[in-house]
Structure 1
């Protein structure tokens, strides 16, 4: 059975996107491309397999019919989603629901996510949280458009990491490219969209104020990711976030400078190559790696080796 599944990316045009994802050597379609859905089994954008036994099949199909690839992990849908986001303009100020609310109102998973900042222009910042102390104060400030007083801003630079649990008011702002690791969900409640008009519809994009009021954490309390670092020869292996902080996923940053051996610890592993060149070796089979690739190490990959000069983000499912 296949040990590694290389995936074809899915691109999404967004009002806030651009063409910066070309830096990953993608053949981007024309338009304002805001998202690369890199590893996904979600119905709104599931990737196809580019190699091996299952070439042309989607991640969603494999989850439904070849569950042994994922160690027979339970669940009615592939649990994780990896994206790369190009915020040429600011994203809407938004909030995501937790599992219970999403199941009841959207037939979706909740959306806890996190960002690794691949690049950020000078002065770039996030919206991350808010200053309201009570639900009544929060709603009043939203209705009065007191955005400068309400929204909490956080400066970011290349290499930063931000953990964003469901219920957190947030937005990527202009000038940021980020890799997003998240639950496999596409449910977003917009609070504010800068009164922008969609070029296709000629109308302002829909807001979802009542849902946002229902799910926002008030008062805001940021959750520390508790990032840790270890050396493996000349390489550096960073745990960006893990259990018990995150119940949905563990996320790692692998800076490979020479040969590093890994052993399977989780049902499967998602890997994105952000930069560099190198190789992946599994049971005598060696695959060339380069920036912009995304792949799943399936349950059949018991041991693997990365070699070369590689900058990778990896994620694995949590216990939720």
Structure 2
């Protein structure tokens, strides 16, 4: 069985995209205004292909469907996670995502709880994270009146920050920000406000006001739980979140590091070069270490984001 599935990322142009993904990771892509790199994805709207080994050329969704033993014989009907790199050279829309129950009933999709690791950002960069309404009635009134400045909670960010964004959280990634996003495998987003922008044809993007009102939480959203750091031989592991949807960690490797592995894990290389189980890896690589591997053997100087169910 194949231990490592190296993924070919899918690059998506967006109205608010730019050149930062290409420049930061050195990807050889010609398109401009790249807003998203779907780095590890089996979603129908961006299904990555395997680029190594016996399964080369197959989509991740087909490998998950036909070789469930590589994923610990997972009972999830679809591959449950999705890793993106997002370049916001302009503000993203103010938006919200539904939970599983609403999304399955209305959109035939998973809900979308996500989290953000800030790779890089401008000195004055901020995000919208949560809102200031105290009740459902106050929330709806402020939405109906377009009181965006007073409603939205805007906070400053810096590289290395991490935010957990449960479904129902009003949020927006703002300009000057490069992030790695780990999320449920969903592409359902409800735009609340898009700054009255128009596309190249002079058309405003669709808003989803009524659906958004139905799913916005009025509970106060707190920043992600405090990270926990473990120092092991040649590895500093920081656990950012361990929720019902995913666990997300950062590993900083300096030399050989070995550990047992009981299930598949998703890796994104943020910096450095090295090897994993004998395969060379470097900055910008994204891959899955499958359940065929009983151990993880890393070596080199590496900064990795690791996620798993």
Q: How many aligned residue pairs are there?
A: 308
**What's the counterpart of residue 192 of structure 1?**
193
**What's the counterpart of residue 251 of structure 1?**
248
**What's the counterpart of residue 224 of structure 1?**
224
**What's the counterpart of residue 312 of structure 1?**
304
TM-score, normalised relative to structure 1: 0.94
**What's the counterpart of residue 93 of structure 1?**
94
Matched position secondary structure for 1:148: helix
Q: Are the counterparts in 1 of residues 93 and 191 from structure 2 also a CA contact under 8 Å?
A: yes
How many Å apart are 1:202 and its aligned residue?
2.3
Q: Are the counterparts in 2 of residues 21 and 28 from structure 1 also a CA contact under 8 Å?
A: no
Alignment of structure 1 residues 239-278 onto 2, 5 Å: 239-242=239-242, 246-265=243-262, 267-278=263-274
**What's the counterpart of residue 160 of structure 2?**
159
Matched position secondary structure for 1:296: strand
How many Å apart are 1:304 and its aligned residue?
1.8
How many Å apart are 1:192 and its aligned residue?
0.4
Matched position secondary structure for 1:7: strand
- State how far apart, in whole Å, the 2-side matches of 1:270 and 1:152 are: 31
**What's the counterpart of residue 112 of structure 2?**
111
TM-score, normalised relative to structure 2: 0.97
**What's the counterpart of residue 79 of structure 1?**
80
- State how far apart, in whole Å, the 1-side matches of 2:219 and 2:139 are: 9
- State how far apart, in whole Å, the 1-side matches of 2:233 and 2:297 are: 14
Q: Are the counterparts in 1 of residues 234 and 257 from structure 2 also a CA contact under 8 Å?
A: no
- State how far apart, in whole Å, the 2-side matches of 1:221 and 1:300 are: 38
**What's the counterpart of residue 129 of structure 1?**
130
**What's the counterpart of residue 45 of structure 1?**
46
Q: Are the counterparts in 2 of residues 132 and 219 from structure 1 also a CA contact under 8 Å?
A: no
Q: Are the counterparts in 2 of residues 113 and 166 from structure 1 also a CA contact under 8 Å?
A: yes
- State how far apart, in whole Å, the 2-side matches of 1:93 and 1:165 are: 15
**What's the counterpart of residue 303 of structure 1?**
295
Q: Are the counterparts in 1 of residues 224 and 240 from structure 2 also a CA contact under 8 Å?
A: no
Q: Are the counterparts in 2 of residues 131 and 219 from structure 1 also a CA contact under 8 Å?
A: no
- State how far apart, in whole Å, the 1-side matches of 2:184 and 2:225 are: 16
Q: Are the counterparts in 1 of residues 162 and 224 from structure 2 also a CA contact under 8 Å?
A: no
- State how far apart, in whole Å, the 1-side matches of 2:284 and 2:224 are: 29
How many Å apart are 1:25 and its aligned residue?
1.5
How many Å apart are 1:219 and its aligned residue?
3.5
**What's the counterpart of residue 182 of structure 2?**
181
**What's the counterpart of residue 203 of structure 1?**
203
Which runs of 4 or more aligned residues in structure 1 lie more than 2 Å from their structure 2 counterparts after TM superposition? 223-226
How many Å apart are 1:84 and its aligned residue?
0.4
- State how far apart, in whole Å, the 2-side matches of 1:237 and 1:47 are: 27
Gaps of 5+ in 2: none
How many Å apart are 1:221 and its aligned residue?
2.9
- State how far apart, in whole Å, the 2-side matches of 1:220 and 1:95 are: 14
**What's the counterpart of residue 290 of structure 1?**
282
